[in-house]
């Protein structure tokens, strides 16, 4: 009986001690999203006129936050011209900003960029390939036709089916980027 | 389908009435432990006049048939109790339940109790899952075993994450109490399953309401009490080994329990479990990345006498669960694609490997308990517990982040409680208790992903008192009251745009600490006063019927997820937002239970109503565009909810006389034993949930369900049982329309407006299972062969979050070998 009483006292002491010792006052450190893609830049340079550069840009500085991306296009594309295209995916929520395109190129087998234009006169060819010889789509050639206004969708898929027939529906995978640019050809 | 079932039932009923006898009175009942109400198997009931001994089965029940009217002397014994004699008059079929008192001589050893309910001293609606059922789920999850109870269903993510839903409510609204310890394992998450090994349970009691005040007043859905093996004060070493293998998932479970009891009062208990499964199969394809691996250990060391005792327990649970690869999606377009295609976008060959996306969860529990009985007063019990829960979730990431957890949360909880039981009065029992909880949540900051749940420190202090009064043999009255003070102090980074968009800069400027980049550090602090009250009455009409009504009202404070959620939810492509201005929920529930035990039929009907003020639910509030595409935004909101429903269950046993192997020594005439031939069991549940502010159905309400099971005992040969069961799940026709429209580029580049149908419910389905079990070597060894989803039926379950991506699991053949020692 006496041992019983003692053990209850010991238990109570252990309990109180461990509760007292558990308060933590560590500061909470900020986490900046590392894989966030805030910015999509598509730079198109006229093959015959190096000064004809058009930049399509979408910036969503708060990532999953409530603000919608801000889309800017520096000007129209010229009709019946050929442009070299380069796409960049950036995380500008951290300083210095991170170029996520490098990871996309490193893991080219697990990524593919898709470009879909409602202007059927604009034809887009992917000129880079992954190690299996399948298209990647960071480097492209844009061939414009007649004048008009249309929408260009730029979609980055992670772990798509490769090879695919070039359509979004056959590629599957997860969409990491899906941005629509309304652009003009004149 | 229905007609066939009805005809089958009718046939069996008519068959049963063909064997009526003159001396056909039946005496039956259950033998339970006086202290913890656990059924006592292998208790011996010797009927002096018949010179025959009957033995209670594993669920504690006994059945003595073919009695002529008259007086009988019974002598009841159990291996660690003294023999108790009692005499009864039998004039009609009678149910006589007996509670045996173990290892003492100062209390009466056999207490005859009049009612037949599981929890004989209470008015609450409760159901117990017995050892035999738990054993049959050795390779499954706790949630699967719980869903055998009428009124309990499961909220699933795939087949490995199974959360219990009690009367339509789950998560923080259901308390799980493991061996007296309230489980704290981040239960607020929809895809967080209870971190408990089902094999440690000796019995499980489900209380469908907030009336278990001892374990907290906020369980407005219900409380699940998991009870370990009973302590025996005898020199005994017992236990079991169960090996289970299954074709679906191509793996299995091994579990063993060893109990060592000493007459001195010392005891040791241990349960070890290991489970490994690969990918599950749906009827037509592999469910890629749905494998799992689980290891669990439970160790107890204690000393128990009737007057005093103490114990030290440690439990460990570690699991790695694959999440269906195809359910990890990028945005709403991917979800539309998945819903429209009707099959998973990624189907790989079968593997035992578990890749991302996956969860890794570890739970440690340490418990110290001491109790003392005071002669002529009651019992005082002191408990301390420490729980540590770590949850890691891994998403599909790229570059250096591949293989790094996206979520890594440590939750540490400590509890101290003092509980007093005053049972000195013959007709009235009092219970009182005080408890204190401290909880620290610390997410790891090195994940590179903003925290889903912030750092917080929570404290809760509570006290309760309850009383049970038995004014006469026919009445049980009980009432209880509980108060808790709950305080939560969090530190959270919000995106500044979000903080302002939600208006918190105006509403809660006092929480702001400082701005860092585009984020703002805040310190939300909240206090809640929580009250709970319960009262009930039960009337026992006679041996056959009893009626109970129980009212419970309870408050629940919003959980951390409801307060602080903030971000993208990958499985459903939604942005989920918590709400800082949530008030406490208040529930008013009335449970009515009519129980009858007429001849060979035992039934229970449990209608209930639950009115919940300020019910917290997630509702869609709009669409947000990001670089990833469009996402619907869901925010927590409070409405008044009205839930009502009914659970009904019935068991009917058919008995026949069989020639015994023993001969009557006196007359050399053969003796006839009465043996169970067929048991029919049926469970039905229906629930109706409404948002009464907007007159809309509540989301995620379980559809109506009807389960039937037929067991043919001693089929063909002795100890061979054959079972067939079916589960009919109706289509849920009541659901809120949360569909939304998004613009999705098609292959021609045109933006097509599509409706994302996340609301429609799957069709009804009917699953058939069949099984054989054979016991041998004096019933110490048992082999069970079970086929689940016998016809490989394709179906989707409304309450499975995987239903947008894939069919549920197909046929599964399981073999289980059980050895008791």
Q: Are residues B66 and B175 in the same domain?
A: no
Q: Which chain B residues contact residue A6 at CB under 8 A?
A: none
- Among B749, B750, B756, the strongest candidate for a mutation testing the A interface, having the largest count of A CBs within 10 A, is B749
B111 has pLDDT over 60 = no
| CA separation for the pair B83, B134 (Å, rounded) | 30
What pLDDT is recorded for position B714?
85
> Which is nearest to B427 in space by CA: B466, B460, B475, B499?
B475
Query: Could you tell me the residue range of the domain that residue B261 belongs to?
Result: 126-820
Contacts with A174 from chain B: Cβ below 8 Å: 328-330, 334, 396
Confidence band (pLDDT; 50, 70, 90) for B412? Answer: very high
Residue B801 falls within a domain, yes or no? yes
Region B640-658: what's the mean pLDDT? 90
Residue B74 and residue B174 in one domain: no
Determine contact, residues B328/B380, Cβ cutoff 8 Å: no
Put simply, the chain A residues between 15 and 54 with a CB less than 8 A from any chain B CB are: 15-16, 18-19, 22-24, 26, 28-35, 37-40
Q: Count interface pairs A-B at CB distance under 8 A.
A: 194
Residues B335-339, mean pLDDT to the nearest whole number: 84
Do A28 and B493 count as a contact with CB atoms less than 8 A apart? yes
Paired with B464 in beta bridges are B433, B482
Sign of the torsion formed by the C-alpha atoms of B56, B61, B63 and B64: positive
Q: What is the mean pLDDT of residues A124-149?
A: 94
Provide the pLDDT for residue B13: 40
Does residue B645 lie in a domain region? yes
Confidence (pLDDT) at B4: 52
Q: Is residue A132 part of a domain?
A: yes
Q: Closest Cα to residue A103, out of A176, A181, A179, A30?
A: A176
- pLDDT grade for B746, boundaries at 50, 70 and 90: confident
Least confident interval from A26-30, A34-38, A171-175, B44-48: A26-30
More confident residue, B315 or B80: B315
pLDDT at position B123, please?
82
Q: How far apart are CA B239 and CA B780, in angstroms?
A: 11
Residue B130 above 90 pLDDT?
A: no
Per DSSP, B509 falls in state G
B386 touches A: beta carbon within 8 Å: yes
Report residue B189's pLDDT band, with 50, 70 and 90 as the boundaries: confident
Residue B203 shares a structural domain with residue B277 = yes
Task: Give the closest of B330, B498, B626 to A60, CB-based.
Answer: B626
Confidence of residue B670 (pLDDT cuts 50, 70, 90): low
The answer to whether position A153 is within a domain reads: yes
Q: Examine the fold and report which residue of B113, B148, B177 is the final residue of a domain before the chain moves on.
A: B113
Which residue among A8, A61, A110 sits closest to B518, beta carbon to beta carbon?
Answer: A61
Confidence of residue B604 (pLDDT cuts 50, 70, 90): very high
B418 to chain A: nearest residue by CA? A12
Residue from the list B438, B440, B568 with its beta carbon closest to the beta carbon of A64:
B568
Residue B16 has pLDDT above 50, yes or no: no
**Region B635-649: what's the mean pLDDT?**
96
Mean pLDDT of A138-147: 94
Q: Is residue B118 in some structural domain?
A: no
Same-domain status, B101 and B165: no
List Cβ neighbours of B219 (8 Å cut-off, separation of 6 or more).
B173, B174, B175, B210, B212, B554, B556
Answer with the residue of higher pLDDT: A7 or B632.
B632
Tell me if B401 sits within 8 A of B358, measured CB to CB.
no
Task: Reply yes or no on whether the pLDDT at B109 is more than 50.
Answer: no
Same domain membership, residue B706 and residue B771: yes
The H-or-E segment that residue A2 falls in is helix A2-20
Q: Do B83 and B151 belong together in one domain?
A: no
Which of B398, B516, B743 lies closest to A35 in CB terms?
B398
pLDDT value, residue B673: 67
Lowest mean pLDDT among B114-128, B327-341, B461-475, B566-580: B114-128
Which of B71-85, B582-596, B798-812 is the least confident region? B71-85
Cβ-contact B109, B83 below 8 angstroms = no
Does B81 have pLDDT greater than 80? Answer: no
Has residue A168 been placed in a domain? yes
CATH of the domain at B16: 2.60.40.1120
In sequence order, what are the beta bridge partners of A45? A53, A84
Establish if A117 belongs to a structural domain.
Answer: yes
Determine the pLDDT at residue B119. Answer: 46
Q: Say what the pLDDT of residue B110 is.
A: 34
Q: What is the pLDDT of residues B86-95, one digit of tens each?
A: 778 887 778 8
Note the pLDDT of residue B103: 43
Nearest-Cα residue of chain B relative to residue A116: B749
d(CA B130, CA B136): 10
Q: Which of these ranges, A88-102, B14-28, B137-151, B455-469, has the smallest mean pLDDT? A: B14-28
**Average pLDDT, whole number, for chain A?**
86
Judged against a pLDDT cut of 70, whether residue B338 lies above it is answered with: yes
Determine the pLDDT at residue B666: 56
- Domain end residue (candidates: B113, B134, B164): B113
Residue B120 resides in a domain? no
- Look at B416 and A19 and tell me if their CB atoms are within 8 Å: yes
Do A30 and B368 make contact, defined as CB atoms within 8 angstroms? no
Domain membership of residue A43 (yes or no) is yes
Diameter of chain B measured on Cα atoms: 97
The torsion angles phi and psi of B501, rounded to 5 degrees, stand at -60, -35
Q: What residues contact A41, with CB distance under 8 A and at least 6 apart?
A: A55, A56, A57, A87, A88, A90
Taking 60 as the threshold, does the pLDDT of residue B67 lie above it?
Answer: yes
Least confident of A143-152, B526-535, B572-581, B678-687: B572-581
Contact: B629, A178; criterion CB under 8 Å: yes
List all residues of chain A from 138 to 177 with a beta carbon under 8 Å from chain B.
150-153, 155, 157-159, 167-169, 172-177
Higher pLDDT, B76 or B810: B810
Q: Which of B59-73, B98-112, B574-588 has the lowest mean pLDDT?
A: B98-112
The Cα B419–Cα B436 span in angstroms is: 12
Which region among B1-5, B459-463, B623-627, B705-709 has the lowest average model confidence (pLDDT)?
A: B1-5
How far is residue B99's CA from residue B190's CA, in Å, rounded to a whole number?
40
Check A175 against B334: CB less than 8 A apart.
Answer: yes
Residue A99 belongs to a domain: yes
Interchain CB contact of B450 with A (< 8 Å)? yes
Q: Are residue B797 and residue B715 in the same domain, yes or no?
A: yes
The strand pairing partners of B287, in sequence order, are: B280
Reported confidence tier of residue A64, pLDDT bands at 50, 70, 90: confident
With 80 as the cut, is the pLDDT of residue B669 above it? no
Measured between CA atoms, the residue of chain A closest to residue B326 is: A173
Domain end (from B62, B86, B113): B113
Which is more confident, B115 or B60?
B60
Question: Is A9 among the domain residues?
Answer: no
Q: Closest chain A residue to B502 measured between Cα atoms?
A: A66
Contacts of B329 in chain A (CB under 8 A): 174-175
Q: Which pLDDT band, with edges at 50, 70 and 90, does A20 fall under? A: very low
Which neighbouring-strand residues pair with B630? B625
% of chain B exceeding 70 in pLDDT: 91
**Average pLDDT, integer, range B136-158:** 92
Question: Minimal Cα–Cα distance from A15 to chain B, Å?
Answer: 6
Residue A102 covered by a domain = yes
* Residue B364 and residue B468 in one domain: yes
Tell me the residue ranges of DSSP E strands in B219-349.
Answer: 222-227, 236-246, 251-261, 266-277, 280-281, 286-287, 292-304, 308-322
Shared domain check, B131 and B109: no
Whether residues B65 and B193 share a domain: the answer is no
* Mean pLDDT, rounded, of chain B: 87
Residue B119 lies inside a defined structural domain of this protein: no
Please tell me whether residues B102 and B196 are part of one structural domain: no
Instruction: Determine, for residues A34 and B450 on separate chains, whether the beta-carbon distance falls below 8 Å.
Output: no
Helices marked H in B130-191 — which ranges?
A: 131-136, 142-146
Give me the number of domains chain A comprises.
1
In the prediction, which pLDDT does B32 show? 78
Q: What is the mean pLDDT of residues B247-260?
A: 96
Q: Which of B331, B497, B747 sits opposite A169 (nearest CB)?
A: B747
Per-residue pLDDT, B423? 84
In the predicted model, is pLDDT for residue B289 greater than 50? yes
pLDDT at B813 over 70: yes
Number of domains comprising chain B: 2
With a cut of 70, say whether residue B581 has pLDDT above it: yes
B121 is a domain residue: no
Per-residue pLDDT band for A56 (boundaries 50, 70, 90) equals very high
> Does the structure show a pLDDT above 60 at B797?
yes
Task: Tell me the mean pLDDT in the region B257-265.
Answer: 92
- Write out the residue range of the structural domain in which residue A96 sits: 39-185
Q: Are residues B107 and B179 in the same domain?
A: no
Select the more confidently predicted residue: A27 or A124.
Answer: A124
pLDDT(A14) > 80: no
The pLDDT of A113-133, averaged and rounded, is 93
């Amino acid at each position: 009986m006496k041992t019983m009483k003692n053990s209850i006292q010991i238990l109570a002491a252990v309990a109180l001690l461990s509760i007292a010792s558990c308060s933590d006052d560590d500061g909470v450190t900020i986490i900046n999203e590392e894989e966030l893609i805030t910015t999509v830049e598509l730079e198109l340079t006229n093959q015959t006129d190096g000064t004809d550069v058009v930049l399509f840009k979408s910036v969503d500085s708060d990532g999953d936050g409530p603000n919608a991306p801000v889309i800017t296009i520096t000007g129209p594309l010229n009709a019946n011209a050929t442009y070299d295209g380069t796409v960049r995916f950036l995380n500008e929520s951290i300083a210095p900003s991170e170029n996520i395109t490098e990871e996309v190129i490193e893991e080219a087998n697990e990524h593919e960029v898709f470009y879909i234009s409602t202007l059927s006169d604009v034809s887009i060819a992917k000129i880079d390939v992954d190690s299996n010889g399948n298209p990647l789509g960071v480097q492209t050639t844009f061939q414009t036709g007649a004048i008009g206004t249309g929408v260009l969708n730029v979609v980055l898929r992670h772990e798509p089916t490769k090879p695919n027939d070039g359509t979004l529906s056959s590629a599957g995978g997860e969409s990491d980027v899906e941005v629509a640019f309304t652009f003009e050809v004149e | 389908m229905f007609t066939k079932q009805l005809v089958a039932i009718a046939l069996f009923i008519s068959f049963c009435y063909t064997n009526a006898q003159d001396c056909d009175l039946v005496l039956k009942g259950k033998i339970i432990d006086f202290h913890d109400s656990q059924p006592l198997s292998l208790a011996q009931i010797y009927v002096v006049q018949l010179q025959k001994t009957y033995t209670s089965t594993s669920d504690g029940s006994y059945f003595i048939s073919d009695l002529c009217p008259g007086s009988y002397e019974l002598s009841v014994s159990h291996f660690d109790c003294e023999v108790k004699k009692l005499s009864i008059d039998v004039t009609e079929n009678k149910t006589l339940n007996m509670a045996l008192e173990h290892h003492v001589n100062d209390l009466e050893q056999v207490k005859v109790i009049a009612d037949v309910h599981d929890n004989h001293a209470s008015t609450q609606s409760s159901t117990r899952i017995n050892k035999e059922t738990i054993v049959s789920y050795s390779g499954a999850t706790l949630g699967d075993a719980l869903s055998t109870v009428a009124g309990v269903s499961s909220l699933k993510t795939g087949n490995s994450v199974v959360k219990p839903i009690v009367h339509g409510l789950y998560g923080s609204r259901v308390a799980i109490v493991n061996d007296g310890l309230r489980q704290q394992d981040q239960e607020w998450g929809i895809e967080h399953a209870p971190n408990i090994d089902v094999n440690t349970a000796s019995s499980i009691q489900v209380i469908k309401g907030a009336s278990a005040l001892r374990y907290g007043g906020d369980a407005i859905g219900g409380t699940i009490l998991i009870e370990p093996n009973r302590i025996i004060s005898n020199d005994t070493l017992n236990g079991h080994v169960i090996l289970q293998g299954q074709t679906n998932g191509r793996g299995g479970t091994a579990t063993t329990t060893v109990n060592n009891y000493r007459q001195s009062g010392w005891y040791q208990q241990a349960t070890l479990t290991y489970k490994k499964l690969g990918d599950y199969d749906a009827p037509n394809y592999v469910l890629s990345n749905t494998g799992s691996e689980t290891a669990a250990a439970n160790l107890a060391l204690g000393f128990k006498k009737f007057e005093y005792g103490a114990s030290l327990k440690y439990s460990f649970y570690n699991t790695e669960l694959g999440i269906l690869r195809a359910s990890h999606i990028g945005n709403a377009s991917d979800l539309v694609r998945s819903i429209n295609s009707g099959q998973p976008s990624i189907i790989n060959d079968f593997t035992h490997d578990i890749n991302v996306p996956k969860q890794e969860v570890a739970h440690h529990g340490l418990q110290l308990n001491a109790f003392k009985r005071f002669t002529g007063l009651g019992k005082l019990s002191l408990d301390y517990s420490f729980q540590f829960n770590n949850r890691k979730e891994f998403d599909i990431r790229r570059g250096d982040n591949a293989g790094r957890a996206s979520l890594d949360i440590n939750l540490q909880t400590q509890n101290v409680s003092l509980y007093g039981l005053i049972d000195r009065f013959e007709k009235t029992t009092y219970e009182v208790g005080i408890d204190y909880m401290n909880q620290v949540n610390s997410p790891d900051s090195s994940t590179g992903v903003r925290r889903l749940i912030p750092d917080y420190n929570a404290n809760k202090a509570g006290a309760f008192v309850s009383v049970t009064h038995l004014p006469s043999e026919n009445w049980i009255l009980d009432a209880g009251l509980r108060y808790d003070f709950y305080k939560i102090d969090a530190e959270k980074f919000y995106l500044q745009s979000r903080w302002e968009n939600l208006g918190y800069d105006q509403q809660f400027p006092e929480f702001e600490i400082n701005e860092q980049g585009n984020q703002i550090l805040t310190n939300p602090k909240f206090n809640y006063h929580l009250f709970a009250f319960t009262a009930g009455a039960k009337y026992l009409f006679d041996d056959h019927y009893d009626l109970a009504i129980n009212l419970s009202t309870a408050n629940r404070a919003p959980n951390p997820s409801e307060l602080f959620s903030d971000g993208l939810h990958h499985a459903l492509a939604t942005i989920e937002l918590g709400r800082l201005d949530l008030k406490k929920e208040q529930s008013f529930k009335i449970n009515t239970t009519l129980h009858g035990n007429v001849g060979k039929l035992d039934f229970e009907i449990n209608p209930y109503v639950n009115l919940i003020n300020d019910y917290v639910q997630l509702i869609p509030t709009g669409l947000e565009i990001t670089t990833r595409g469009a996402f619907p935004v869901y925010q927590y909101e409070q409405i008044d909810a009205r839930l009502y429903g009914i659970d009904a269950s019935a068991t009917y046993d058919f008995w026949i006389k069989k020639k015994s192997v023993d001969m009557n020594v006196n007359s050399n005439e053969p003796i006839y034993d009465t043996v169970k031939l067929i048991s029919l069991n049926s469970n039905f549940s229906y629930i109706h949930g409404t948002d009464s502010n907007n007159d809309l159905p509540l989301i995620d309400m379980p559809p109506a369900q009807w389960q039937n099971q037929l067991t043919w005992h001693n089929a063909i040969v002795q100890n061979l049982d054959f079972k067939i069961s079916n589960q009919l799940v109706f289509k849920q026709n009541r659901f809120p329309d949360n569909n939304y429209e998004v613009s999705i580029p098609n292959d021609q580049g045109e933006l097509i407006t599509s409706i994302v149908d996340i609301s429609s419910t799957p069709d009804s389905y009917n699953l058939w299972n069949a099984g054989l079990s054979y016991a041998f070597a004096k019933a110490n060894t048992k082999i069970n062969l079970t086929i689940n989803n016998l016809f490989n039926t394709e179906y989707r379950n409304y309450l499975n979050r995987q239903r947008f991506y894939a069919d549920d699991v197909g046929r599964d053949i399981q073999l289980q070998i059980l050895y008791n020692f």
